[in-house]
Amino acid sequence: MTQIETQGTQQMTDSQAPAVEVRNLAKHYGDFVALQNVNVSIGAGEYFVLLGPSGGGKTTLLRTIGGFQKPTHGEVLLHGRSVGHLPPDKRPTSMVFQAYALFPHMSVEQNVGYGLKVAGLPRAQVAEKVAAALEQVGLTPFAARRPHELSGGQQQRVQLARAIVLDRDILLLDEPLAALDAQLRKDMCLELKHLQEKVGITFIHVTHNQEEAMTVADRIALIANGELVEFGRARDIYRAPEKTFTASFVGENNVLKGRVAEAAGSEIIVDVAGSRLQVDKRGLAVSDGQEVTLSIRSECVALDRVNGAETPADGFSITGAYDESVYLGLTTSHLVHLPDGTEMVSREIADSDERLPEAGSRVRLSWKPSDIRLHVE
Ligand code: ATP
């Protein structure tokens, strides 16, 4: 099996159009809805990540863009041109799959040049393109080696070279780093990002790993249960998630359920587990008595360690019972539960001398007014 699906002619037209446009896309497998109502536009030269939990529909979307499967409804446009009728090898895309099954009996150079050779390119041209691709992924000194003489990361780079040598302008990467160990994965993430900047083509990268997504992405789309939940720049998705799902999937957020006590004005009051919290309405429509969700990132929550000497409630803090602290090296996570049983986490830079509260004692968790976020769905 070849890893890279070589994909054909580049007869794409509109240079002003987005590289990829997905309109009202749905994919059903019998009764099962794998994707529904997906709309997304990806700019030329953008590093775009499809992030989400397993089974959410990321690979289905990627494969539909690549032409490996047909949508049930909707359409895919590449550079402004509808490609529903085009098979994978006639689209301006190349695909990098999860596992790297390289041809074991061929050298790195031969593996990379295979697609071009099959396409009938003259030998000299193949050699020239292969040399350029190997240079781009930093594998020039390894050109004569066989795959078994390479590390996992190097094999992965051969795979990338096999894809970029084809000169397609949209690279589809399906969990490209999944087979690598954690450290290599981190290193390769940066390499991928730099490679994309160097070659300047559009990368669409599927992963369920948020750190990987944040490292490489210009923009991230979050996909779950077959729907595109939210998309935006990595820092916006992280710092200002619109949807509760985004808050619970990206970063370590405390998600609190509450009921609106006072909906008037730009700041509203929400009752959460016996405390009255104040939160910016952000122009969202809410009414008294409505159930809403609030989120606060764990690193924005401070733990008041002074037992018994609580500061007065100010709308930006909540009381609970201290459970325990988990030392994580750089940071320590303090676990607290609220009177309604909700678990909260305060993550602080680890301090080896810190005095921790007694288990079960009352503590106060507090945050800056701008760090709490309202979600209405
Ligand atoms: P993962 O991260 O685990 O790869 P994913 O987000 O890429 O997950 P998909 O592979 O797109 O998810 O699958 C979405 C859903 O569609 C899953 O529930 C999967 O079981 C289902 N599915 C995928 N392919 C088929 C198929 N050929 N027939 C039936 N169901 C399928």
Residue-wise over 99-125: b if at least 16 C-beta within 10 A, else e?
A: ebebeeeebbbbbbbbbbeeeeeeeee
**Per-residue pLDDT tens over the stretch 338-350:** 999 999 999 999 8
**Per-residue pLDDT tens over the stretch 133-160:** 999 888 999 999 999 999 888 888 898 8
* Confidence bin at 184 (pLDDT 50/70/90): confident
Least confident stretch, 36-50, 167-181, 236-250? 167-181
Asked if 185 contacts 156 with a C-beta cutoff of 8 angstroms, the reply is no
Nearest CA to ligand 1 atom 9: 57
Identical topology for domains 2-92+168-244 and 252-375:
no
Spans of all domains in the chain:
2-92+168-244, 252-375
pTM above threshold 0.75 = yes
What is the whole-number distance in angstroms between the Cα of residue 58 and the centre of ligand 1? 8
Return the CATH class of domain 252-375.
mainly beta
Dihedral pair phi/psi, residue 77, rounded to 5°: -115, 135
Q: Which atom of ligand 1 is nearest to the CA of 208?
A: 2
Q: What is the pLDDT of residue 14?
A: 64
- What proportion of the chain, given as a percentage, has pLDDT over 70? 92
Dihedral pair phi/psi, residue 355, rounded to 5°: -95, 125
What value does the mean pLDDT take over residues 19-47?
Answer: 96
Model confidence at 193: pLDDT above 60: yes
Pocket of ligand 1 (CB under 6 A): 29, 32, 34, 52, 54-60, 208
* Ligand 1 pocket test, candidate residues 25, 29, 64, most atoms within 8 A of CB: 29
**Per-residue pLDDT tens over the stretch 268-316:** 999 999 899 999 999 999 999 999 999 999 999 999 865 555 556 689 9
What value does the mean pLDDT take over residues 58-71?
Answer: 95
Q: What is the pLDDT of residue 354?
A: 72
Nearest CA to ligand 1 atom 22: 34
CATH number of 2-92+168-244: 3.40.50.300
Residue 153 C-alpha from the chain's centroid: 21
